[in-house]
């Protein structure tokens, strides 16, 4: 084939498109290359689309970060709302009991504790409030909803005092035996002392003897197993062995380590730990609608309760067992405002006899004095001059020793028996008992472990007091449900004043019960009216010190807000407020 000559074309030829000359194609042709127009436009469109998607993704990410920052900020604000509510409770408890009452009290005070606006804003999503809330107990001692305030920790049974009760408290001791000898009490009412702690525990719903004994074995210092209890050998044989505490508990939750104690028994159906049974929790209840057993034992138990030794105005009570009797007389006269009362207490320290203990002590002279008490003379302050005040020979074990007591002055034929101005009569008690119980003390202490508060505890704890028969316990529960403005209701001796229990029964009850208490528990909820962010804590505050101390703090935020916004309270635009307590 002849060599192909390339033809000249008016446009640049693509070598691949040159047509060679052959026998059948005498002429040469050229095909021009097509111009690639629009390729850069396509590239530009792709770049713009990718950039747009990147910008959109970045914007969406920034919006998500912004929303996350807002939510995180509100969560932090909710935590700070809780801090504010806790400080509000501490500030309230820093007041004296009288000062608290002037501010509306701590029991149920919506003006002080419900929906307190801390973050004012016209937007409800940004308007932050705090509410302090606690479970409510009705007149018959049954749990019944909520209230806005604090719960007295003495309304619960302090586990750490159970072994102390066993070691130091004996029902059916000398006092009751003496009363029985005088015909003032029935020996059938005596209770074996080593069963008191168990009986108190057995008052809890669904409690059994083996669990009660196991709890006491866990608390006591020895390794001796009780009849139905468990000690070191049992716990050491577990797949993961450990030993019993053999000492005070640090929290109620430690009971989960005790044989037989389960989360269901300890916390009941209250899965969100808000102190009430919500409708959704009703499905878990097998003991009945709103049954107290549904809340578990944690609603009845504590390890934090304590009582201070102050008057309602915050002053120190006068110790009737002070060594300097002359100074004691001056102090008593000052606080009581009655010279006969003050001088008799001093005289009792020198030559007094409690009617309930004279016979038990085996002192024949004292017994004779008791038998003559009904015919003795009325005490007057002038009789104190016949006594030597250099030394107090008689100790007042409890203030009720002064009730119905006698003082013997002189010897032989010159002996004179004086009757106590604190008569064993309800009408007289109504007058003097607030002075005795409110201003005086027989123990020199700053604070002591809390006893059971008769006015605020669940009815089960009253029924569990082994000293009281069922009929008497029921009468006490019914009586406290009646509205009364009597000042005696502030003190644990009110059942005696109102004739529900006898003097000897009250003597036995006194180491176990109180009408006070200076440690308080509450749930503090910080929330926004129009948003879901919230924080919730359970806190226990000890007010026995000048600056109330937080002794327990547990976050419950992971269990939810616990209450709907309507229950917690909505202030609205017109209801925004700040709260202050005058110092």
Give yes or no: residues 266 and 132 share one domain. Answer: no
* Domain contains 36: no
Q: Which of 440, 458, 484 is the last residue of a domain?
A: 440
Average pLDDT, the chain: 84
The CATH number of residue 207's host domain is: 1.10.40
- Give pLDDT, residue 501: 95
Window from 34-48, 145-159, 212-226, 319-333 with minimum mean pLDDT: 34-48
Q: What is the pLDDT of residue 358?
A: 47
**Token reading at 240:** 């993961």
Ordered DSSP codes for 511-562: TTEES--SEEEEEEEEEETTSS-EEEEEEEEE-SSSS-EEEEEEE-GGG--S
Q: Residue 366 — pLDDT band, cuts 50, 70, 90?
A: very low
pLDDT of residue 29: 55
**Count of residues in the chain:** 583
The answer on pLDDT for 559 being more than 90 is: yes
- Which pLDDT does position 2 carry in this prediction? 46
Residues 427 and 450 in one domain: no
Q: So what's the pLDDT on residue 177?
A: 43
Residue 571 CB partners (closer than 8 Å, separation 6+): 115, 117, 127, 129, 529, 577
- The answer on 240 and 118 residing in a single domain is no
| Predicted pLDDT at 231 | 93
- Average pLDDT for residues 307-334, to the nearest whole number? 94
- Number of domains present in the structure of the chain: 3
- Mean pLDDT over 463-489 rounds to 90
Question: What per-residue confidence (pLDDT) applies to 37?
Answer: 66
> Could you read off the pLDDT of 65-91 as tens digits, one per residue?
777 787 777 889 999 999 999 999 999
Quick one: how far is CA 549 from the chain centroid? 13
Q: Check residue 189 and give its pLDDT.
A: 41
Say if residue 529 is in the same domain as residue 459: yes
Domain that holds residue 122: 44-154+445-466+512-582
Residue 518 and residue 153: Cα distance in Å, rounded? 8
Classify residue 494: in a domain, yes or no: no
On whether both 326 and 431 belong to a single domain, the answer is: yes
Return the higher-pLDDT residue of 294 and 47. Answer: 47
| Average pLDDT of span 519-541 | 94
- Does one domain contain both 289 and 324? no
Same domain? 296 vs 167: yes
Can you give the C-alpha Rg of the chain in angstroms? Answer: 40
Shared domain check, 299 and 164: yes
Backbone torsions φ then ψ of 78, nearest 5 degrees: -60, -40
**Do 201 and 177 sit in the same domain of this protein?**
yes
Compute the average pLDDT of residues 108-126: 92
39 belongs to a structural domain: no
Does the pLDDT of residue 218 top 90, yes or no?
A: yes
Q: Among residues of the chain, what percentage have pLDDT more than 70?
A: 82
Same domain? 537 vs 452 = yes
Q: How much of the chain, in percent, has pLDDT values that exceed 90?
A: 59
Task: Output helix, strand, coil percentages for the chain, rounded to the nearest 5.
Answer: 40, 15, 45
Residue 485 inside a domain? The answer is: no
Domain boundary among 304, 338, 366: 304
pLDDT band, very low/low/confident/very high, at 411 (cuts 50, 70, 90) = confident
User: Is 113's pLDDT higher than 60?
Assistant: yes
What's the average model confidence in pLDDT over 413-419? 88
pLDDT band at 31 (very low <50, low <70, confident <90, very high): low
Range with top average pLDDT, 165-169, 285-289, 331-335: 331-335
Q: Check whether 162 has a pLDDT greater than 80.
A: yes
Q: Do 67 and 97 fall within a single domain?
A: yes
pLDDT at 145: 86
Q: For the purposes of burial, counting CB atoms within 10 Å of the CB of 571, is it exposed (0-12), middle (13-18) or buried (19 or more)? A: middle
In a domain, 493, yes or no: no
175 domain residue, yes or no: yes
Least confident of 154-158, 357-361, 428-432: 357-361
Of the candidates 174, 185, 179, 177, the residue with the CA atom closest to the CA atom of residue 370: 179
The 10s digit of each residue's pLDDT in 237-284 is 999 999 999 999 999 999 999 999 999 999 988 888 998 888 887 776
pLDDT at residue 269, as a whole number? 87
Q: Classify residue 246: in a domain, yes or no.
A: yes
Pair (461, 408) in one structural domain: no
Query: Which among 397, 423, 440 is the end of a domain?
Result: 440
Residue 484 — pLDDT band, cuts 50, 70, 90? Answer: confident
Residue 444, token pair as written in the block: 């020199």
In a domain, 479, yes or no: no
Q: What are phi and psi of 139, to 5 degrees?
A: -60, -30
């Amino acid at each position: 084939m002849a060599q192909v000559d390339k033809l000249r074309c008016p446009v640049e030829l693509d070598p691949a498109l040159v047509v060679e000359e052959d026998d059948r194609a005498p002429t040469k042709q050229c095909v021009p290359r097509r111009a690639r127009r629009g390729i850069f436009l396509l590239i530009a469109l792709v770049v713009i689309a990718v950039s747009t998607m990147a910008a959109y993704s970045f914007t969406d990410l920034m919006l998500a970060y912004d929303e996350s920052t807002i939510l995180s900020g509100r969560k932090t604000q909710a935590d700070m709302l809780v801090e504010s509510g806790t400080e509000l409770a501490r500030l309230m408890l820093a007041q004296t009991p009288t000062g608290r009452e002037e501010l509306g009290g701590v029991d149920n005070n919506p003006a002080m504790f419900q929906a307190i606006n801390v973050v004012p804003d016209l937007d409800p999503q940004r308007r932050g409030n705090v509410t302090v809330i606690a479970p409510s107990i009705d007149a018959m001692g049954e749990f019944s909803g909520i209230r806005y305030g604090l719960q007295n920790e003495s309304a619960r049974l302090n586990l750490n005092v159970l072994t102390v009760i066993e070691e130091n408290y004996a029902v059916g001791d000398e006092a009751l035996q003496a009363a029985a000898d005088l015909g003032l009490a029935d020996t059938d009412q005596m209770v074996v002392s080593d069963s008191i702690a168990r009986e108190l525990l057995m008052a809890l719903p669904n409690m059994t003897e083996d669990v009660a004994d196991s709890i006491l074995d866990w608390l006591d210092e020895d390794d001796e197993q009780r009849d139905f209890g468990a000690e070191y050998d049992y716990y050491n044989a577990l797949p993961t062995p450990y030993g019993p505490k053999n000492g005070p508990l640090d929290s109620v939750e430690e009971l989960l380590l005790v044989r037989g104690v389960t989360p269901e028994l300890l916390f009941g159906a209250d899965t969100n730990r808000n102190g009430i049974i919500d409708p959704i929790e009703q499905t878990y209840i097998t003991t009945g609608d709103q049954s107290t057993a549904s809340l578990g034992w944690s609603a009845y138990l504590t390890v934090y309760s304590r009582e201070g030794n102050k008057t309602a105005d915050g002053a120190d009570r006068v110790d009737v067992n002070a060594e300097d009797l002359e100074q004691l007389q001056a102090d008593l006269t000052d606080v009581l405002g009655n010279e006969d009362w003050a001088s008799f207490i001093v005289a009792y320290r020198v030559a007094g006899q409690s009617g309930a203990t004279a016979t038990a002590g085996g002192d024949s002279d004292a017994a004779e004095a008791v038998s003559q008490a009904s015919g003795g003379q009325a005490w007057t302050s002038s009789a104190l001059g016949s006594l030597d005040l250099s030394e107090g020979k008689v100790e007042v074990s409890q203030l009720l020793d002064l009730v119905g007591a006698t003082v013997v002055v002189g010897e032989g034929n010159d002996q004179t028996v004086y009757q106590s101005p604190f008569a064993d009569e309800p009408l007289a008690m109504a007058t003097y008992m607030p002075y005795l119980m409110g201003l005086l003390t027989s123990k020199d202490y700053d604070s002591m472990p809390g006893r059971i508060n008769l006015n605020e505890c669940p009815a089960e704890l009253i029924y569990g007091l082994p000293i009281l028969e069922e009929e008497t316990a029921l009468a006490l529960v019914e009586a406290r449900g009646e509205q009364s403005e009597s000042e005696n209701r502030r003190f644990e001796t009110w059942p005696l004043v109102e004739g529900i229990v006898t003097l000897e029964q009250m003597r036995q009850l006194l180491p176990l019960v109180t009408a006070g208490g200076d440690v308080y528990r509450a749930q503090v909820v910080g929330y926004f009216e129009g948003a879901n962010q919230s924080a919730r804590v359970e806190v226990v505050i000890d007010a026995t010190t000048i600056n109330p101390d937080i002794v327990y703090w547990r976050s419950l935020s992971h269990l939810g807000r616990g209450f709907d916004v309507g229950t917690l309270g909505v202030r609205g635009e017109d209801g925004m407020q700040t709260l202050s307590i005058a110092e």
